[in-house]
Chains A and B, each alone.
Chain A
Amino acid sequence: MKIVFALLLAGSCSLLWAQTNAPVEPPADQQTDITAAHGRFDGIKYQMVYEGNVLVQDPKVKLTCEKLIVDLQKDGGHPTNILALTNVVVDVLDEKGQTNHVTANRATYTYTVANATTNEMITFDGGEPKPRVENPQLIMEGDVLTFDLGTKQFSGEGFRTIFKQLPNAGGTNGSPFQLFK
């Protein structure tokens, strides 16, 4: 329901930026695995670049793409910028535990902390084919899609949404919004 509400709010093409999340130390046992055909580490930029059949996996996400650029911090802190390029496919679990399947040409993860507030966003863009997210309730396609990791909401620019008809949704005359009651 939150997703739909966010979509409706964002329908006028504005992006929603979260500024509500206090920095939280992640669980120590949380682990992310990245595999790729090739890679390089730039010790001056402190940047890791992966190329060829890139696969990223952690407990709540699976990402595949052709190229992944990770900006690391020398102090071992949180990566500030992660860029996934070409044939980006992301399967991410939302707060309901359902999978959101996202496809795009480009995905950009940004992490910022300002005034003790953490912002974590994933922006999907990159042109045709347009970024697209699909879950059991809906399909959303747009010029730009953004997923806020704090609020767990999608928003977008120039998007259209297709609501799916579920078996118990009241037949062909049922409102798609009933799906989310």
Chain B
Amino acid sequence: MKPGAATIRLMLGTAAVLLAAGLNYAQQIPAARAKNFTSHTYYEPPNERQMKLKLSGAEASPLPGGLQDIRELTIETYDVSGKTEAIVKAPQCTYSLFDGVASSPGHIELKSGDGRFFTEGDGFLWRQADSLLIISNHVHTVIKGGTFKFSAP
């Protein structure tokens, strides 16, 4: 059963409340239409000044059911020292505001902060709660600098 307009408004309203309280991942994606948006998440105290995640996109459009259509998504994660841990890029994805799940039949790229680990594929699902990224097809990984030495030297 599809949620009605009132339900959506209620859900969006709930998300806005959670956003204001800083308790929900929904704070990272604008609930309304937006262009060239960027959102930041910070670590818990005592590292509250340190950015944990930066999420940006070229465009976000609301869809029914608390979903957002995101274009040119980029997610960057940082450790507590500010060093980049990982960068995720996807030309398009659908993001659920309420369960923090992003998915797309399209392309995705994941790169480590130092650039030595790179993986890509087509079709993905990302569950933010447990940091799980599932790539459905054509997975390709490049590890540079010999970090994967399954060989005789």
- Report which A residues bind B (CB closer than 8 A): 26-44, 48, 50, 56, 58-61, 63, 70, 72, 74, 76-79, 82, 90, 92-95, 109, 111, 120, 122, 147, 149-150, 152
Contacts and interface: CB of A to CB of B under 8 A. Distances in A.
Contacts of B141: 33-35, 39, 48, 50
**Interface majority SS (helix, strand, loop, mixed), chain B:** strand
12 contacts: A29-B144, A33-B140, A33-B141, A33-B142, A35-B138, A39-B139, A41-B135, A43-B130, A76-B114, A76-B117, A90-B150, A111-B149
A60 B151 contact: yes
B17 interface: no
Interface residues of B, number: 35
B139 A44 contact: no
Given A27-B146, A56-B148, A56-B150, 11 more contacts: A35-B138, A37-B137, A38-B139, A39-B139, A39-B141, A44-B130, A58-B146, A76-B116, A92-B151, A93-B152, A111-B149
Nearest to B83: A75
B143 interface: yes
Contacts of B148: 32, 34, 56, 58, 70, 79, 82
Contacts of B140: 33-35
Chain A interface secondary structure, helix, strand, loop or mixed? strand
Contacts of A70: 148
Interface of B: 79, 85-86, 110, 112-114, 116-117, 119, 121, 130-153
B112 A76 contact: yes
Contacts of A26: 145-147, 149
B152 A30 contact: no
B131 A44 contact: yes
B133 to A, nearest CB: 4
Contacts of A38: 134-137, 139
B150 A74 contact: no
Q: Which of A31, A32, A58 has the most CB of B within 10 A?
A: A32
B144 A152 contact: no
B137 A77 contact: no
Contact of A72 (B117, B121, B130, B146): B117
